[in-house]
Amino acid sequence: MNVIIRGDGESKRFKPHMNMAIGKYIHTREDYLRELKKNNLIPQEEARKIAEQKKRERERPHKPSKWAHEMVEELRRSKGNPGTAYYKELEKKGYGYDRIQQMKKTSERAKNLDSKGGFTDGSL
């Protein structure tokens, strides 16, 4: 008795198969590409390339902007008590008084999270 084991080899030859994403049995490569286009999908190889590119972009180290460095330097110069110019710069970037208060409130609520992801202070 001979047993043939087919692995997921490097063969680029198209094999007819039931495609669950499309919901049809695909006979030829042309049918496959046509159905992908009709269903607004992309081939797996192309999807892998996009995923790799996104992964590389995520792995890039974050580099703070010149503006961020200047804002931190202003905090250092003023020993943690900045003047109105500092807050005006924050407002230009969309961080007005209301937004700052909202972020502080969210920060306080996040400190009250228990290990199961729920709030321990009864909020919400």
Pick the more confident residue, 30 or 124.
Answer: 30
Strand ranges inside the chain, DSSP E: 17-19, 24-26
User: Does the pLDDT of residue 1 top 60, yes or no?
Assistant: no
Report residue 33 as tokens.
């590409």
pLDDT tier at 48 (50, 70, 90 boundaries)? very high
> What one-letter code names the amino acid at 73?
E
For residue 64, give Cα distances in angstroms to 41, 58, 84. 36, 15, 23
Please tell me what DSSP assigns to residue 12.
-
Residue ranges of domains in the chain = 17-59, 66-110
Pick the more confident residue, 12 or 7.
Answer: 12
Q: What is the pLDDT of residue 50?
A: 94
- Cβ-contact 119, 112 below 8 angstroms: yes
- For residue range 79-94, list pLDDT tens digits in order: 878 888 888 888 888 8
User: Does the pLDDT of residue 6 top 60, yes or no?
Assistant: no
Q: What is the pLDDT of residue 53?
A: 92
